[in-house]
Structure 1
Amino acid sequence: MGHGRLREDKTCDNCGYIVDKSYCSQCGQKNVETRQTFGALVAHFIEDFTHYDGAFWKTIKYLLFYPGRLTKEYLSGKRQKFVPPVKLYIFISFVTFFIAVSSIDDEGPDLSLDNTEANTEERYHLTINNKKIYTPQQLDSVHKTLPEDEKFNAFELWFEKKQLEKGRQLGEIDSSERGFLKEFVPLLPKVLFIYLPIFAFRLWVFHGKTRWYFFDHGIFTLHFYSFLLLSVTLLEIFLFILSIVLTDDIVDAITIILYFLNIIYAIFYLFKSRYNFYKEKIGMSLLKSFLLLLINIFCFFILFIIAAMYASYKI
């Protein structure tokens, strides 16, 4: 859709370059009159909106249902038809974590100091072998006597000691969990952002250095993680809608099934997108994808533990 009357003056208003036809070959600005009618303004709005809308929905379709194709199309030079990878990742990341933060329950019991009922509750404690434990020292002592299969892992032991050190009342525990989530969830986009170049570096190590640039691996990484975030976001929106019309028990059962299916599809997506983009032999592609999957699960686990420990210190 064209809009705006062309100027008779062929000097570009933006950069001063001579315009051959409609658009300046130097900066790309259209050589139209700056003062336009209301109809031209409406036409301009419709053109920009439909262009972005078309690019956005086409990008989402390729991202969800055609593993690796979006990256191939983008790197082949067909970039005008799609949302740029960095903008796509930032937008999806913002929506994902905005929903996650918004879903944290802000409601709970009144835990202010003048709440007599809360202040008369018993302090937080653990009960192990019918013995109540109120201090980290007591926990250490009892923990040593437990059978190996009943002991806490390192993170659980550290976390429980932190709760005992703070000596909160039982009524405050729910509030503490919400506080932890409020600190932990906003850390996740930062953790993922830090991890993106690490994932791209691993792709660079796994593939031919002469055929692929690090930039190519970076685009593949942005698209893959945009897919992961988008799939989780769509799933959470769908489950929220279900929670309005169905009982909690049914929604819980559906949640388990859908998250399991989502994980299976994400694994398949990694294998398929790598195979379609890098065009390796199927056996080698499966082997490298499997190694990448194991490495990334391990690294994510370490990063999330670090983020969880940091969030625990902040509450």
Structure 2
Amino acid sequence: MAEEKQICKNCETEFNADFNFCPNCGQKTKDDLTIGVLFYNTISNYFSFDARFFKSIFPLLFKPGYLAKTFVQGKRLQFLHPAQLYLFVSVIFFFILSITVVNKQVETLDKTLKETVSKPLFSSEKQIKQLVDTVQVDSVFKVLEKKNPEFAKQANLKSIDALIKSETKKDNTNRGISFGFNEKKIDSLINIGAPNSEIYKAMGMSDDAGWFSRKIHAQLLKFYQQRNGGQMLKAVYDTIPISLFILLPIFALLLKLVFYRRGPYAYHLVFSFYFYSFLFTVFSLILLANTVVGIPASLDFFLLLSTFVYMVIAVKRFYEQGWMRSIFKSALVTGIYFSFVIPIAVILLVLVGFLSY
């Protein structure tokens, strides 16, 4: 008796009717399209959100270096691929960061700038009263001037000079943010509709300035007019995910330099993917905990410190080093990374964010 056959809807391969999956392409034979199936396929295709993800989370958190060591040994289907795990966890982290930190900081910064920038001179009643008192003093000097002009002149100049210095000092204290140029002059040029080139010169730009200098002055003028520092901060945050694609390989390169006899560069990149995935997971949990219940700063510090302990254990397991070498080399890599690489990256992020917002 001939076995009943069916044809795969995806690749049109013929196979036995009792098969649950196509032996050629792997598609399920009975996979009716529902909302649940559509959602699962989307997540599964883009993030590999399947059993391997849940199998990978526990060793990622509690068995440092195990996933990386297993992957380089050739067992690459049991757990989630390091790049896929990194992508999935990083998406979750930046989503949580956006809703818990970024949006609040953007609103706070915009509000602060509007309250502190360009406060008017002599705004308080006390300062106005001082000006009135000065006018009354002037009437006294007029009497002195008739009797002893030279004395009145010297005394008047000293009094006015003291008043100017006093008010200037108060003005610098109360006005908040200083832009480094004559704001009244810039405001006047803006009000009369002067071309930007003239405004840039008033801001201090030289006539032979290049593209970069012109761009800096253009963004500074935009920031001065709109006071939208929050948007600039958001632009900085938006560049972080992209920058990590550069920072992560640099971290792997440092590992390669320190452990140059422990396999090719790809091995160190695998370790870096899993280590960054762990960091993003921990940071996500910290953000959620602080948002929901709030935890002491000392506990935050302890959790951050635990990431270094995690790295030491991961290095010992993955590179098969002794404890002293693992501690020393982990400290060396993290010290170079956070003392030189991260500060340079932060400066570049701020600059890119400022130029692109």
Q: TM-score range by the shorter chain?
A: 0.5 to 0.7
**Computing the radius of gyration over CA atoms, which structure comes out larger, 1 or 2?**
2
Once the two structures are TM-superposed, the CA of residue 162 in structure 1 deviates from its matched residue by 10
The 8 Å contact of residues 275 and 285 in structure 1, kept in 2 or not, is answered as yes
* Number of equivalences: 256
Residues 27 and 85 of structure 1: CA distance in aligned 2, closer, same or farther (over 3 Å):
farther
Q: Which of 234, 240, 244 does residue 291 from structure 2 map onto?
A: 240
Q: Describe how 1:1-315 pairs up with structure 2 within 5 A.
A: 8=4, 14=11, 29=26, 34=29, 52-103=49-100, 104-105=103-104, 122=120, 130-132=170-172, 134-137=178-181, 168=224, 175-176=228-229, 178-209=230-261, 211-242=262-293, 251=294, 254-297=295-338, 298-315=340-357
Q: CA deviation at 1:57?
A: 2.2
Task: Verify the 8 A CA contact 2:13 2:22 in the aligned structure 1.
Answer: no
- CA–CA distance in structure 1, aligned partners of residues 19 and 223 of structure 2: 73
Q: 1:293 to 1:107 in 2, by over 3 A?
A: closer
RMSD: 4.4
Amino acid at match of 1:263: L
Change (3 A) 1:241 1:212: same
1:3 matched to which residue of 2?
A: none
Deviations 1:74-112 (A, max 9, x none): 22233333221111111111111122223313657999x
Question: Residues 290-310 of structure 1: CA distance to partner in whole angstroms, max 9, x if unpaired?
Answer: 110111102011101210122
Cα contact 2:7–2:15 (8 A) shared by 1: yes
Change in 2 beyond 3 A, CA 1:8/1:255: farther
TM-score using structure 1 length: 0.65
1:195 deviates by 1.2
Once residues 298 and 274 of structure 2 are traced to their aligned partners in structure 1, the CA distance between those partners, rounded to angstroms, is 25
Normalising by structure 2, what TM-score?
0.58
Structure 1 gaps of 5+ residues are 1-6, 139-160, 243-250
Which residue identity does 2:180 align to in structure 1? P
Contact 1:136 1:165 in 2 (8 A): no
SS at match of 1:185: helix
Q: Write the letter of the residue equivalent to 2:348.
A: I
Q: Offset at 1:255?
A: 4.7
Greater relative CO, 1 or 2 (CA 8 Å, sep 6+): 2
Q: Residue 249 of structure 2 aligns to which amino acid in structure 1? A: P
The residue matched to 1:184 in structure 2 has which SS?
helix
Q: Is the 8 A contact 1:101 1:186 kept in 2?
A: no
Q: Deviations over 1:264-308 (max 9, x none)?
A: 111111111111110012222222111101111020111012101
Structure-2 change in CA distance of 1:14 and 1:224 (3 Å): same
Identity %: 27
